[in-house]
Amino acid sequence: MSEYSELGHDAATVGIVAKKYFTFAAPPHTLELESGARIGPVTIAYETYGTLAPDRRNAVLVLHALSGDSHVAGVYTPQDEKPGWWDCMVGPGKGIDTDRFFVVCSNVIGSCMGSTGPASTHPATGKPYGLEFPVVTIGDMVAAQKALVDHLGIAQLLCVVGGSIGGMQVLEWCVRYPQMVVAAIPLATTMRHSALAIAFNEVARQSIMADPHWNHGDYYGGPKPALGLAVARMIGHITYLSDESMRLKFGRRLQDKSDFSFNFDADFQVESYLRYQGRKFVDRFDANSFLYITKAADYFDLGQQHGGGSDVKACSKARAKFLVISFTSDWLYPTYQARSIVTALKKCGRDVSFCEIEAQWGHDAFLIPGARLKSLIHGFLQRVHDELRA
C-alpha cells in the first residue's frame, strides 16, 4: 500500500505535484486586453500532470470556475488532507486519464492564486494594483492561457474542458482559436449570463464594496473587507446548491440547540453552514479578485462578441467536436441554456453530443464524484483520441 493510500488519498492519485509559473508580456510587449488597456508583465500559475506525447497531440486543458485555481489534482505534500479541486476526475484511470493524457490547468488572470491580478504588485508603483488593475474579460483570460500553451510547445489541444465560468472559457477557446482545439467539454455553463445571474453577482459585489474596510479596493496592508467578502460568498454559495440538496442536507434542523434563541444567532443549520463557508472563503480568496472575475463572467456573451449578436455565427467559427453536459438541478445555468449551445452548434453543422445528468446537488454537481460524469468524459476523450490517431 502506498503512503497516499495510508493517508486516505485515492490510490489512483497523480501523487505529489508542484505549482509552476510562466511570466510573459514584459514591457514594451505588454498584453493588450479587450478593453484596450495593456498590462505586463503577466504571470500565470499552472500545474501539469501526465506526460506530453512525442507528437504533442495528447494535451487536455482544464479550466476552472470562479474561485478555483491551477491545483486540479494531487497533493503538494504527503501531509495534505485535501487534494486538488477535481481530483475525482483527473488522474490515472479516471475520467481524464493522466496515463494517456497530458493535463494542464492554469489560474486565470485577475485571480489571486498565483496569476497576475489586483493583489499583485503594480510594476510602476511597487504596491498592489487594487482597482488600478484593468478589468479583464473571459477572452483576456483565454488569451493569457494561449500564451502559456504556446510556451509549452503545444500547437493543438486534444480537448478543453471546464465547468461554470470554466465552461465559458471552453466556448471562448473554441471560437477564438478554432484550429487549436480538437474537442471541447463545456459543463454546467452558458453562452451568456441571465439577468438573474447578473443580479446575484451584483448583490455579491455590492456586499464587498459596502464593507468599510474595502476602501475603494485599497485595503492591502490593512484590515481586509472580510465581512463583505464572506457575505458575497454566502450569496454565491446559495446559487451553487439546489432546493433539494439544501432540503436533504439541512431542512429546518436547528444547530446545536433544541429551541429558537429568539435573537440573531445562527439558529438553523443552514445559517451556520453559510457563515462557515463565508469565513473559510475569506482566508483563501481576495475580495478584489471576486469583483473582477464576476464582472468578467457578466460581460461574457459569445454570440454578441463573436457573431455580431448571432449565436449560430459565433459557433460556426468553432471546429471542435463537442460534449455539452448539464445537470437537472442546476438553476444558476439551467439545462435550457445548455440546449441553446447545442442548438446553435447543430445549426452550423458541428459534431455535438449532449447529456443532461440527473443530479440533486445543483450547479456544483459537476465537482462532485459521479460515475455517470466520469464515464461520459472518459468515453468522449477516448473516442476523440482514437479518431485523431486513426
| Active centre residues (catalytic) | 164, 330, 363
* CB distance 16 to 78 below 8 Å: yes
* CB distance 22 to 148 below 8 Å: yes
Residues 341 and 326: their CA atoms lie apart, in Å, by: 11
119 grid coordinates: 493583489
- Considering only the C-alpha atoms of the chain, give the largest distance between any 2 of them, rounded to a whole number of Å: 69
Q: How far is CA 327 from the centre of its chain?
A: 17
Question: CA angle at residue 322 from 321 to 326, to 5 degrees?
Answer: 170
* CB distance 111 to 69 below 8 Å: yes
* CB distance 183 to 320 below 8 Å: yes
Best CA proximity match to 175, nearest among 60, 311, 373, 367: 311
Best CA proximity match to 333, nearest among 108, 100, 165, 89: 165
Helices and strands (H, E) in the chain, number of each type? 12, 12
Question: What's at 310, amino acid-wise?
Answer: S
Q: Write the DSSP assignment of 206-275 as a string of letters.
A: HHHHTSTTTGGG--TTS---HHHHHHHHHHHHHHHS-HHHHHHHTTT-BSS-SS--SSSS--BHHHHHHH
204 grid coordinates: 455579491
